[in-house]
Structure 1
């Protein structure tokens, strides 16, 4: 619901916190007249105006790229046994190489996302694919521990883009009421490939030798380069003028609050923000960061549930759409936009609760999942299981089943739920509404992790371990996709910086856990290691109730900070 200070009447122009939008006109028929948020321009080249087939084709290419990157990161785990025998790499070294890769995953986004913000998404997708191709050749010829470490570090450094740039692409192309399904699709593809890669790799290692895993990667990444270069279109959009409707639509008066009104609206803000930041917020009349300000309220009167394309704007040709770089100038608020994106994520992480919480949730769940992967690869080849490489790979099948079940439920459910609840609240959507969908899946995480940990520690039959893996992933997939969608909906204008912070913390968890895993298990045993991590996870997940109840208040209190950093982004879509 809108805050008490917000008038939800049809003609209201009150400020709403970032992320709160009118999603449906009051009195609209069920499922009809959904207001498009963010509001598209009248430009046929605006990615929000692309036909659905073009959007899905673009996202399909991105998902294929994500799948290959995730496979590369994880395909080596079933080969640890053969590498130990052929090259003499100890399991401790192999474990450390995985941890080094996790550290590179966290660092990569910090240094690479500023390029995506400045030059577009397309050059980063292309360059990352070429790097994965080269790393595959190197891995296939690997001989030394130095090779192993450098390959993991460099490959994961550029693979880190898959954990941040995809949500930016989704936000570029899809509307609020579609993002739940799209982000769920992304999480499903990422996790499915994470588990399918080791499964296939196990069979390849057994039938053709472990080096052939990487020769197959060489072949597939070589084909992927062609797909990305000639198929993926840039989704970053910069509008030439702040138009919302075509020239033949009724003229609309866009009213923006004055600088003094904005200062008064947030006079109760006590975030300790620097005075320089406050003055920028008070003085600006361009509320580019507040896409949720309901300056236009009547969908019926102004037809903002549909898009009218301006026929006077020429469509780009195929070759124009495949330009490698799409450069945008920095905003007028700052002259150091490029370099500030390397440290802004840390500031946002420390000062905006939703970003910090999303990082903790994503980090602890992925970190626990990585610990489960590495312990499987270490323990299952040993007595009493004595699994071969293909059998270790098959243990990822229940994880794939769990991921698929969770994704099939969550994506459609969350998008339907937000429209349903928004309709009951006068058409107003608050991002916290999505978080209610997390509740049915919370118990799957501890149930699955405990079953896995106890089963592996007590050397129970492998089906017990398999059921634990399936249950855990039924819970993880919805939680991860919903928290990322919540973050995108709440802070779209700074989502690139926000996701860099999330990725940094996510991989810090994995790095710390895996580097410490061998001595940690040696000191207290596998069961208590997993129980300790699980207790941390349960404590973090328990805070979902806090954000369901107080998340909107957090967004209200951090609105000036969000506005300040939104204005420091590169000039993109002209928002009202």
Structure 2
């Protein structure tokens, strides 16, 4: 965030307000607030200091960082045992590929958990659900290292499922906080920061565990996660606030109690002080609401793209330890130890850093630049243009390089560059596509986030079960080469959205026109400045 953002968040100059208009039409002019006289604040904040849009930037950043930490815990916990394959294979009398089924169990938990937490958040509040889901992650992380008998392979799998089942809550509920707190021109950076935790957690969990348990028995790799999860409950309890706010005329919003402890009790414990009362029947109706978006064309396109880009990244993460640690005498190429494998995962950290910097500087600037060329009017599809270099070029190049490295037994550095490019593509694509789909369905951000989140995990969930027959059929080089071509093919559908996104969104069944398309995001003098 920059100093100019602080000015936008803390106060806005009363000028001319632009009301929503159809795409390409001229906006009408009424009373409005701007940032620095150039960027129009969308949505327009009310005059109430309790409106999340009016909260100080420092408070918004603290809540964003708390969500980041909770999401990091939720995505690192299920994958803690990803590197120590041989010890677990020997204990449970399974192959190393069968041990990687732990990752599939985790992916299944990530794909299904949100369908429970979404309706419950309507009954108990988003913050309460996140807090108690972290308690569930804590229980699952204590459960896993206790499964040390040869007949406990199945319970260990189940513990990985529930760690992810509880851990996915922030991924599903978190984007709504960002949409509630941040203006349109700030969301790209906010989504980039939050979703860094998703990829970073899935990679850092194996890294930390690999170094900790490299020369010890495998259960020890879980205990750092237990401590971090327990710690995370503290900032969540102290700082996480509900961001629900109704700006419609005559709406009555919750009055925050003066007592801090009473506010925390109302936020995190059963009751209906934070959210309106809903019966269990009404909660069941909420449960079914996301399913109507499964047939929305724009959502299916984004979910298909994410399934390829993120699914192959998940598959790469899950299977790379098998390829790296396979002993040379058994036909392996690299013969890494667990410590060397853990060191190799720092490649992902470099990719995350690059993706964070890229997203911070370009995820909002590119759409605003395109808005200037469109007479200052906004289109959600402007978000997608930032994916050209990372997902049309780097990601397929990276997958191809991984395949070539293993096919022709190149040095591990070539393999590392391939992993780096794939990581960058995944890191950049998720916040951009989630942000885009939230802006397409402005009043249904959690529902569409839930659907996209679950659909993009299906490939990562299943690939471990058929990767070996696929390799036997065409060879490992062509397996990853085919993945590279699939990523290019998937990007063609994003190009379709860039060209005809408005018309595609009009075909959405059950759709209400609640996107921010056609809104003037730049003042006239700024829009005509380029």
Deviation for aligned residue 1:207: 4.2
CA contact (8 A) 2:188 2:360 kept: yes
What is the CA deviation profile of residues 535-562 of structure 1, one whole-angstrom value per residue up to 9, with x for unaligned ones? 322211111111111112223443x732
- Other structure's SS at 1:137 match: helix
Shift in alpha-carbon separation, 1:211–1:327, aligned structure 2, 3 A: same
Query: Structure 1 stretch 442-451 or stretch 503-512: which is displaced more?
Result: 503-512
1:107 to 112, 123, 139: 112
Match status 1:120 vs 2:125: yes
CA contact (8 A) 2:397 2:484 kept: no
Match of residue 501 from structure 2: 551
Deviation for aligned residue 1:30: 9.6
- Cα distance between partner residues in 2 of 1:58 and 1:13: 30
Match status 1:456 vs 2:398: no
Match status 1:354 vs 2:298: yes
After TM superposition, the structure 1 = structure 2 runs for residues 33-182 of structure 1, keeping only pairs within 5 Å, are 33-143=38-148, 144-182=152-190
Match of residue 426 from structure 2: 476
Shift in alpha-carbon separation, 1:223–1:30, aligned structure 2, 3 A: closer
More relative contact order, 1 or 2 (CA 8 Å, 6+ apart): 1
Match of residue 417 from structure 2: 467
Match status 1:445 vs 2:395: yes
- Cα distance between partner residues in 2 of 1:216 and 1:22: 54
Query: Structure 1 stretch 142-151 or stretch 176-185: which is displaced more?
Result: 142-151
Match of residue 275 from structure 2: 327
- Cα distance between partner residues in 1 of 2:507 and 2:232: 45
Query: Structure 1 stretch 169-178 or stretch 35-44: which is displaced more?
Result: 35-44
- Other structure's SS at 2:375 match: coil
Match of residue 261 from structure 1: none
Q: CA RMSD in A?
A: 3.2
- Other structure's SS at 2:512 match: helix
- Other structure's SS at 2:510 match: helix
CA contact (8 A) 1:368 1:534 kept: no
Match of residue 384 from structure 2: 435
Structure 1 segments (4+ residues) deviating >6 Å? 10-14, 19-26
Match of residue 302 from structure 1: none
What is the CA deviation profile of residues 209-245 of structure 1, one whole-angstrom value per residue up to 9, with x for unaligned ones? 321221222222111122212222222334685479x
Q: TM-score, normalised by structure 1?
A: 0.77
What is the CA deviation profile of residues 90-120 of structure 1, one whole-angstrom value per residue up to 9, with x for unaligned ones? 2233122321221221111122211123422
Runs of 5+ consecutive residues of structure 2 not aligned to the other structure = 1-15, 516-530
Deviation for aligned residue 1:55: 0.7
CA contact (8 A) 2:367 2:385 kept: no
Match of residue 519 from structure 1: 469
- Cα distance between partner residues in 1 of 2:188 and 2:30: 21
CA contact (8 A) 2:289 2:447 kept: yes
Q: TM-score, normalised by structure 2?
A: 0.83
Deviation for aligned residue 1:21: 11
What is the CA deviation profile of residues 278-330 of structure 1, one whole-angstrom value per residue up to 9, with x for unaligned ones? xxxxxxxxxxxxxxxxxxxxxxxxxxxxxxxx9xx877543354222522256
- Other structure's SS at 1:77 match: coil
Aligned residue pairs, count = 485
- Other structure's SS at 1:563 match: coil
- Other structure's SS at 2:287 match: coil
- Other structure's SS at 1:561 match: coil
CA contact (8 A) 2:214 2:339 kept: yes
CA contact (8 A) 1:95 1:515 kept: no
CA contact (8 A) 1:22 1:427 kept: no
- Cα distance between partner residues in 2 of 1:203 and 1:414: 34
Match of residue 394 from structure 1: 343
Query: Structure 1 stretch 471-480 or stretch 365-374: which is displaced more?
Result: 471-480
- Other structure's SS at 1:486 match: helix
CA contact (8 A) 1:78 1:390 kept: no
Deviation for aligned residue 1:43: 2.6
Match of residue 412 from structure 1: 361
After TM superposition, the structure 1 = structure 2 runs for residues 166-315 of structure 1, keeping only pairs within 5 Å, are 166-238=174-246, 241-242=249-250
Deviation for aligned residue 1:165: 1.4
CA contact (8 A) 1:112 1:161 kept: yes
Match status 1:318 vs 2:260: yes
What is the CA deviation profile of residues 476-497 of structure 1, one whole-angstrom value per residue up to 9, with x for unaligned ones? 2222221111112221211111
What is the CA deviation profile of residues 443-475 of structure 1, one whole-angstrom value per residue up to 9, with x for unaligned ones? 001100111122123322110100111112222
Match of residue 507 from structure 1: 457
